[in-house]
Amino acid sequence: MSGPALAPLRYDPAGVMIPETGLSPDDLRQLAPRLEAARAEVLADVDLWTGGGKVPAEKDPLDAGFLNLPERLLEEYRGTRSTSQLEKILNASRRLAGVVDRVVVLGIGGSYMGARALFDSCCHPYFNELSRAERGGHPRLYFEGNNVDNDAMQGMLDLLSDRPTREVADRWGLVVISKSGGTLETAVAFRQLLAVLRRACADDAQAVADLVVPVTGNSGRLFELAKALGCDDVFPIPDGVGGRFSVLTAVGLLPAAILGLDIVKLLEGAAAMNAHFRTAPPGNNIVLDYVGVGHLMEEKRGATIRVLSAWAKGLEAAGLWYDQLLAESLGKNLQGATPLTIVNTRDLHSRGQQHQEGRRDKLITNLIVDQVRRDKLKVGTSDLDQDQLNALADKTVPEIMAAAISGTNQAYAEDKRPTADLHFPRLDEAAMGQFFQMMMLATVVEGRLIGINPYGQPGVEAYKKHMNANLRNH
């Protein structure tokens, strides 16, 4: 991959090359001109959005602002650091870290799923259970406002003190994320938690304002509420960036910075993916090749279910982020594959039977992490060998995982079940930046390829309309 020197993601579709049930290299070669045309259309969309020209009706809405965002943020940060958006985000995260030990992120859909993916993939797997020192002084992070579950909210409230105190260990803050502020799930949670926070601040308006950080549009209910509260830090969700494409705005960057993650590396990974996407030809372009395989498997083989098979627990939330991205972007006009995220080896013991012998309607893409972050654990010897594991004493956990991956792929291949592999060099910010940008680019390219506007989500608005009407009419 071209761009900044970092370890690239790698896509290997060899396991899809099964003539009877999968694809042939000729299939991909024949699709190449259409993939290049779709890429050109996506890049032209960016130019149209940037230039502010009239958007054709069939392309409205056109939320193409996500594509150049990593480069814009990095250029600003390197040029005018003290006034840049990234520096403001970093300053707000440092300020919160200095005065609270818990932060609750309120948001739903794209307003929280990317941040959750970063939390799970890049942080210690039990981050919130560590001491403050072990967390590097960074607050614990929780996610709410993504459902209307009474008992879950009550459980969250059990953790948050309403007693005024100066002790950092007992203080907490809120990051509330909503472009309009009109999303009911998030708005209700904010009202409930804000009432508790005001009591914890003894109704000191400035203290409350210091502990609430909204991320929102430049108008709307949350914007007006932030003004009424007098919040010191309010971060924008840029125009032209839809919710599910917003992970590399303050929507994802602020929670990541609060956790102490390297948001510059995150953006550098995304920028590297952009450079690769713009220049590499089909056959050597990870975005176009991923799109081509998925599209052809759906068209030629009826593989309407796309399984992201994550071979690391830390990637489950990233898969769920992608579920929303694909489903909301392409699930229109009776089209669009169905995404499904699983975690292995866990789900080999639940879904594995169906994937091995069920309907041939699935394309499985394995998400594989090549290098673990921690020392490799050995099975070890024991004087209690009833489990007969002494024979494997020198094997490591990563070796067991590698054997499971190769064994599962082999079993699928023997039954002519197509699989592809997407390799992460390791789970870190640079790799996740690449992954986010790759999947966002792939989704809009596929939309243009099949004649679907990948932006907007008209079907989601229907449930919101009826839910609000039901509440107000009964």
Q: Which long-range contacts (CB under 8 A, 24 or more apart) does 198-205 make?
A: 199/162, 199/164, 200/160, 200/161, 200/162, 200/163, 200/164, 200/165, 200/171, 200/172, 201/164, 202/164, 205/229, 205/230
- Annotated active-site residue in 144, 328, 429, 446: 328
Is-catalytic flag, 464? yes
HSE-up of residue 50 (Cα within 13 Å, Cβ side): 11
Q: How far is CA 113 from the centre of its chain?
A: 5
Cβ atoms within 10 Å of 410's Cβ, excluding its own: 10
Tokens, residue 255: 């929670």
As to burial, measured by CB atoms within 10 angstroms (0-12 exposed, 13-18 middle, 19+ buried), residue 98 is exposed
Tokens, residue 229: 């509260």
Tracing tokens 């938690």 back to the chain, one arrives at 193
- Answer whether 405's CB lies under 8 Å from 397's CB: no
Reduced to 3 states (helix: H, G, I; strand: E, B; else coil), residue 145 is coil
DSSP string of 289-341? HHHHHHHHHHHHH---EEEEEESSGGGHHHHHHHHHHHHHHH--TT--PEEEE
Rounded Cα distance between 78 and 91, Å, is 16
Residues 107, 246, 439, 324: is their CA dihedral positive or negative?
Answer: positive
- Annotated active-site residue in 58, 167, 349, 465: 349
Rounded Cα distance between 97 and 336, Å, is 42
Bridge partners, residue 421, by sequence: 12, 366
H/E stretch holding 419 reads strand 419-426
Is-catalytic flag, 328? yes
Instruction: Estimate the crossing angle of helix 458-473 against helix 184-200, to 10 degrees.
Output: 60
- DSSP assignment letter at 373: S
Tokens, residue 217: 């549009």
- Answer whether 328's CB lies under 8 Å from 448's CB: no
Catalytic machinery residues = 328, 349, 464
